[in-house]
């Protein structure tokens, strides 16, 4: 019986050592594989060209960044509490309603890649709520990346200045 116990413990120990831990597996993934997934917005702060700080999407922005493994992406960030349109029709908004809606939201989609040397996310923008971004490339620095959190810094934000955004991975 004692021999059986020792054999069982030895087998379990060998198996535990042979199986890679979650941390080791994450370290074996490429930078692009670590970024791929769906992320929700936690915070977004913009530093204007004059150095002033702005929360364009409010204190508690809502949004999502989807980086699919095949290289397509979509990003939407919205300021909660934007005024509703009185006409209940997006085509019949007043100039003030349209201004508030556009200034409180951003949305882009296209393809994505990484620049491993500079630890950057490169978005090739095919479509955007802000038409001036269409057909451009946006290189966003990855400030930090863990299994659950992504912090980025975009020096060419559509609102001008630099935007620092924190995301949480959707599980």
Kindly report, residue by residue over 48-75, the tens digit of the pLDDT: 999 999 999 999 999 999 999 999 999 9
Does the residue 144 lie in any domain?
yes
Q: How many CB atoms lie within 10 A of CB 58?
A: 14
Phi, psi of 74 (to 5 degrees): -145, 140
Does the residue 63 lie in any domain?
yes
| Least confident range of 2-11, 42-51, 54-63, 92-101 | 2-11
The alpha carbon of residue 93 and the mean position of all alpha carbons in its chain are separated, in whole angstroms, by 30
Given a contact cutoff of 8 angstroms between Cβ atoms, the answer to whether 41 and 28 are in contact is no
Q: What is the pLDDT of residue 156?
A: 75
Q: What percent of the chain has pLDDT over 90?
A: 75
Overall average pLDDT of the 28-32 stretch: 90
Does the residue 86 lie in any domain?
yes
Does the residue 139 lie in any domain?
yes
| Buried/exposed code over 130-165 (b: 16+ C-beta within 10 A; e: otherwise) | eeebeeeebebbbeebeeeebbbebeebbeebbbbb
Q: What is the pLDDT of residue 19?
A: 42
Overall average pLDDT of the 13-39 stretch: 67
Number of structural domains, the chain?
Answer: 1
Does the residue 24 lie in any domain?
no
Instruction: Give residue 132's domain range.
Output: 30-169
Q: At 4, which helix (H) or strand (E)?
A: helix 2-18
Does the residue 127 lie in any domain?
yes
Instruction: Please give the model's pTM, rounded to 2 decimal places.
Output: 0.80
Does the residue 75 lie in any domain?
yes
Q: How many CB atoms lie within 10 A of CB 73?
A: 21
Instruction: Tell me the CATH number at 161.
Output: 2.40.128.280
Does the residue 82 lie in any domain?
yes
């Amino acid at each position: 019986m004692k021999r059986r116990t020792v054999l069982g413990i030895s087998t379990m120990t060998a198996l535990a050592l042979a199986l890679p831990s979650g941390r080791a597996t994450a370290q074996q993934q490429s930078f692009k594989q670590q970024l791929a997934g769906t992320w929700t917005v936690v915070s977004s702060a913009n530093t204007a060209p004059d150095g002033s700080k702005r929360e364009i999407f409010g204190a508690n922005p809502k949004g999502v960044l989807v980086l699919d493994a095949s290289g397509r992406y979509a990003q939407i960030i919205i300021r909660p509490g934007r005024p509703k349109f009185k006409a209940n029709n997006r085509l019949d908004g007043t100039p003030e309603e349209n201004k508030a809606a556009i200034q409180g939201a951003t949305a882009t989609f296209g393809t994505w890649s990484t620049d491993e040397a500079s630890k950057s996310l490169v978005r090739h923008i095919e479509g955007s709520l802000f038409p001036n971004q269409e057909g451009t490339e946006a290189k966003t620095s990855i400030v930090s990346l863990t299994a659950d959190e992504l912090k980025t810094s975009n020096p060419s934000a559509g609102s001008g200045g630099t935007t620092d955004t924190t995301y949480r991975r959707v599980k």
